[in-house]
Structure 1
Amino acid sequence: MPKVLVSDKLSKTAVQIFKDNNIDVDYLPDLGKDKDKLFEVIGQYDGLAIRSATKVTDKILGAAKNLKVIGRAGIGVDNVDIPAATKAGIIVMNTPFGNSITTAEHAISLMLSLARQIPEADASTKASKWEKNRFMGVEVTNKTLGLIGAGNIGSIVADRAQGLKMKVVAFDPFLTPERAQAIGVEKVELDELLKRADFITLHTPLIDATRNIINAEAIAKMKDGVRIINCARGGLVDEAALYEALKSGKVAGAAFDVFVEEPAQNNPLFELANFIATPHLGASTTEAQENVALQVAEQISAYLNTGEITNALNFPSITAEEAPRLTPWVKLAEALGSFAGQLTETSIKGIRIEYEGNVAALNTKPMTAAAVNGVLKPQVAEVNMVSAPQIAKDRGINVEIITRDQQGAYEGYIRLTVITERQERGIAGTIFANGKSRIIQVKGINMDAELTPSMLYVTNEDKPGHIGRLGTLLGNLGINIANFNLGRAEVGGDAIALLSIDGEVTAEQLKEIAGLPGVRQAKAVAYN
């Protein structure tokens, strides 16, 4: 009988789910806080169910000789060393969709609290001041709500805001016009949103592209008297810039549930009367906590009893029999998706994945999930091979799968095409007999390039002197070339240089490369 440790507080119903599935369960809700005791006992368990209090470190995993699965009741897994778990062959699961409604409702609550100054009015009234004329609020009816991020939570916020008779505009690189129409929002660029919104709420992950997306420059483009809500991630808003804008009155009010440093203590924003703060309560409702607890119990039980993998962060759904042959293709599919995703800068309408030859006879579902995960990951930080298809569906991205028998020279290959409002960009790859992944085509141009951790992608006009100029510039910049791969459509037409390099290329270096004569695009492409 498999044995599971519950080291954080979960509901009694979740514990019963383990028992109903013939799982021997130890419910020790305070054990997660005692890392020494956890280290001592973890070796006897097949599964571990946690919330945020338990820290699953490399040291803990080193003692977990029988552990097969870790289940996090919630989204965030910052408390789990996922690379170490992966190396140890331990599946890490979460419950990514269990608290979406709760977080969305908290954002709406903060918006209404801002509009009517409820926290400050509450404190004043309880102090027996009765300052009725001091708290003049604003209506939300007929106001414009600017939504930065229109994924699962953002779309729920949009729905609730429309119920309040608000106009909703949304900025999201992955939001297609069809999806925008389906959820009743107007898709706009970020500058347009900043200019038009009376209220702005953020629902996007914290990645390089979104860090300080609301900064002093962005605030300057906003309406005077705008109100800002952040229930997503600390770091999306430049807190120092917001502080100045709140003091000057440029921003009438702000309400945050998340902060750059948590727990947030002695934050300068707390000094301001027009700032509302809550201690990361987005997922804190009875319903949400119950939902994620039940889900994680069901997921762990299914994996231990049948091998079923749901919402895994570090492995796709692959059976033991399929793994040896399928795993290299899964890795190739994710790499092709990542390559295309890193080169895509506009809204994605669709992803077309073609499997030809011997790969078409395999289980393509994990390959498809891996490919979609690769495409989405540059813009959606909290995505994995399991959640990627659902996230793509929620964002209105059509995923088309084509399988066919061998028609060309390769026994099997995968071609992935990203379809945007402006263009289609395709990339194809195969697995050689030695198990190595190779790129065999980019944008219809044939080539043969190995996938490496750090690559430079350059498109240019096919004219004499380009290769020499590019090589000389890279040498002057101190960038060492490991491999230099070339391809062109026709003489004098479009050409591609795909280089494997040592180290990383900085933004300034890319700017210099892009400035070379005839260069149309220069991008750095990286793989973990």
Structure 2
Amino acid sequence: MAPKVLVSDKLSETAVQIFRDRGIDVTFDPSIGKDKDKLLSVIGEYDGLAIRSATKVSAKVLEAATNLKVIGRAGIGVDNVEIPAASKKGVIVMNTPFGNSITTAEHAIAMMFAVARQIPEANESTHAGKWEKSRFMGVEVTNKTLGVIGAGNIGSIVIDRAHGLKMKVIAYDPFLSEERADQLGVRKVELDELLGKSDFITFHVPLTDKTRNILSRENIAKLKKGVRIVNCARGGLVDEEALAEALKGGRVAGAALDVFAEEPATESPLFNLPNVVVTPHLGAATTEAQENVALQVAEQMSDYLLSGAVTNALNMPSVTAEEAKVMTPWIKLAGHLGAFVGQMTDEPITAINILYNGAVAEMNTAALNAAAMAGVMRATNPDVNMVSAPVMAKDRGIDLATTTQSQTGVFEAYIKLTVVTEQRERSIAGTVFSDGKPRFIQIKGINIDAEVGEHMLYTTNEDRAGIIGALGQTMGENDVNIANFTLGRSTRGKDAIALLYLDEQPPETVLEKLKETGLFKAIRPLRFEVAE
């Protein structure tokens, strides 16, 4: 019997035809995506669901989806899908992470020109029957310095286009290596230098805790006078109120924004200011981009339903059905190891080295590599998955090296992951016990035995009395419950570490109290994606 797919959002007829040509029974009804009750009543009939952003795939919908095997999102964002609920039901969630890259990069360039030459204002004035030629004095982009914040997939396309416009390009990206910067033809700089030297600044980073408000009031004060700001990436990267004040005060000559902290943006301190260009999140809004992602999602879903091949899955590794039973806990472990070093590392990573020892060396190490890299890079980009992580790592010039070896030591198998930066190397090792649960067994060369939890706290200190007491007392006084407490040390009186598995993330006030004790060299809260 042919698999059945429901297309509940607007996909092109060409994309729908791909399903038909592959022998899939497809229902194309875009009205269903806006009708929750109708979706609930029919979803149980289908093996696949193809969507854009209108269809909301809630836990309730997934509960009713008794036959559903795959959800395909034409585009990158999957905020409208409850992925944990999908994972629990065994439903694969796919997206198309790179289909909008050129379109978004081109929109950034278009916005740069629009604000450089005041095109929207001049257009409005001319339509009104005025001829204010002397009012609209623009600036050339040739020989100007473009500061690119984020040199990944979209940022690298913008850099290429900027070279064609004869601009000087500098870039800030914590993951950008010197080698990759050379390949892109940009000078890699720190954020403060970029802020102070750029004539134009464009953002191409995701919104994370580290990038939120990256153009803060404090950083706006560091900008070169007369700079023009372009943001076609994510709302929340820019302090809109502070930017409005800088525009009024003359430090910033113009701004062009396609994204806002709150969307739909019906009001903003930036609205109606002179030489501010705004568009309603049009970065991916071209015929070509919408067609590309629609065709991609149709091909990916068809491949999975007909052959089991998994591409661009957000919640499952690209492994065969035969491998899945054995590999799943090891894939989780690889992701946890990557997440640990990713959250611990603030400087650009130049290389990731992975050692597979014992039985794990005989497994599908390509999938394990992808899981580890996704863990590393998810610290700065939560949208990374096992498919996109290797591509993004390559774009940033991060070298991957793997080694396999026969069993050595007391464990039947283990994985050791090391990240290399220009300043240091940081390593962690782990294994999977007979209960199928991943464990950390070594950090910084210090042997431990630590269960992995969603919320953890890592500390380093000199081996001395009082550490356990300080940690336990501070957590207890602040009602932070410790589920598991692991200690390790190199030798007596030397380096020591502690890894606490907590019931919830410790508040900043608790971390400050630990710092005030003067006992710790480093205190770092960590978070891991642990299935319930």
TM over 0.5: yes
SS in 1 for 2:37: helix
Deviation of 1:191 (Å):
1.0
Note the C-alpha offset of 1:518. Answer: 4.6
* 1:480 correspondence with 2:481: yes
Is residue 240–residue 268 contact of structure 2 (8 Å, CA) maintained in 1?
Answer: no
CA distance in 1: counterparts of 2:282 and 2:503, whole angstroms: 44
What secondary structure sits across from 1:499 in the alignment? strand
Aligned to 2:176: 175
Q: Which amino acid counterpart does residue 365 of structure 2 have in structure 1?
A: T
1:186 CA displacement? 1.1
Return the alpha-carbon distance in structure 1 between the equivalents of residues 494 and 21 of structure 2.
66
User: Could you say if the C-alpha distance between residues 66 and 396 of structure 1 is closer, same or farther in structure 2, counting changes exceeding 3 Å?
Assistant: same
Q: Retained in 2: the 8 A contact 1:372–1:389? A: yes
Deviation at 1:499, TM superposition (A): 1.9
Change beyond 3 A, Cα 1:34–1:477: closer
When normalised by structure 1's length, the TM-score is 0.97
**1:1-16 paired onto structure 2 within 5 Å:** 1-16=2-17
Asked whether 1:210 is paired with 2:206, we answer: no
Question: What do the CA deviations read for 1:89-126 (whole angstroms, capped 9, x no partner)?
Answer: 11110000011011000000000111000000011111
1:17 maps to 18
- 1:18/1:351 Cα in 2 relative to 1: closer, same or farther (>3 Å)? same
**Helix, strand or coil for the counterpart of 1:458?**
strand
Figure out how many residues of one structure are paired with residues of the other and give that number. Answer: 528
CA gap 1:163/1:432 in 2 versus in 1, 3 angstroms: same
The 10-residue stretch of structure 1 (24-33 or 68-77) with the greater mean CA deviation from structure 2? 24-33
Report the Cα offset of residue 477 of structure 1.
4.0
- Deviations along 1:35-79, one digit per CA (max 9) or x if unpaired, are 222222221111111111212222222221111111111111111
- The percent of aligned pairs where both chains have the same amino acid is 65
Aligned to 2:498, what secondary structure does the other structure show? strand
Residues in 2 aligned to 1:382 and 1:457: alpha-carbon distance in whole angstroms:
25
Amino acid at match of 1:381: P
State the 1:319 CA deviation: 2.1
Determine the C-alpha separation between the residues in 2 that align with 1:481 and 1:44. Answer: 45
Once residues 300 and 234 of structure 1 are traced to their aligned partners in structure 2, the CA distance between those partners, rounded to angstroms, is 31
Paired letter, 2:284: A
- 1:131-150: CA deviations, max 9, x gaps? 00000001111111111111
Deviates most, 484-493 or 398-407: 484-493
Distance 1:505 1:123 in 2: 53
Corresponding residue of 2:154: 153
Task: Find the aligned partners of 1:455 and 1:56 in 2 and give their Cα distance.
Answer: 31
Aligned 8 A contact 2:470 2:514 in 1: no
Change (3 A) 1:276 1:469: same
Change in CA separation of 1:87 and 1:466 when aligned onto 2, cut-off 3 Å: closer
Q: How does 1:126-275 map onto structure 2 within 5 Å?
A: 126-275=127-276
TM-score by length of 2: 0.96
Aligned positions of 1:395-406 closer than 5 A: 395-406=396-407
Q: Alignment partner of 2:306: what SS?
A: helix
- Other structure's SS at 1:95 match: coil
Which residue of structure 2 aligns with residue 301 of structure 1?
Answer: 302
Structure 2: runs of 5+ lacking an equivalent: none
Q: Which moved more, 1:457-466 or 1:134-143?
A: 457-466
RMSD, matched Cα: 1.4
Aligned to 2:383: 382
Q: 1:464 & 1:88 partners in 2: Cα distance?
A: 48
- Give 3-state SS (helix, strand or coil) of 2:404's partner: strand
Listed as ranges, the gaps of 5+ residues in structure 1 are none
Alignment of 1:113-124 (within 5 A): 113-124=114-125
- Alpha-carbon distance between aligned partners in 2 of 1:42 and 1:488, rounded to the nearest angstrom: 55
The amino acid that maps onto 1:45 is: Y
Task: Give deviations 1:308-330, integer Å, cap 9, x for gaps.
Answer: 00000111112222222111111
Is the alpha carbon distance of 1:520 and 1:56 closer, same or farther for their aligned partners in structure 2, counting shifts above 3 Å?
same
1:468 positional shift: 3.6
* Segment drifting more, 105-114 vs 168-177: 168-177
CA contact (8 A) 1:470 1:516 kept: no
For 1:342 and 1:225, how far apart are their aligned partners in 2? 36
Give the structure 1 partner of residue 336 of structure 2. 335
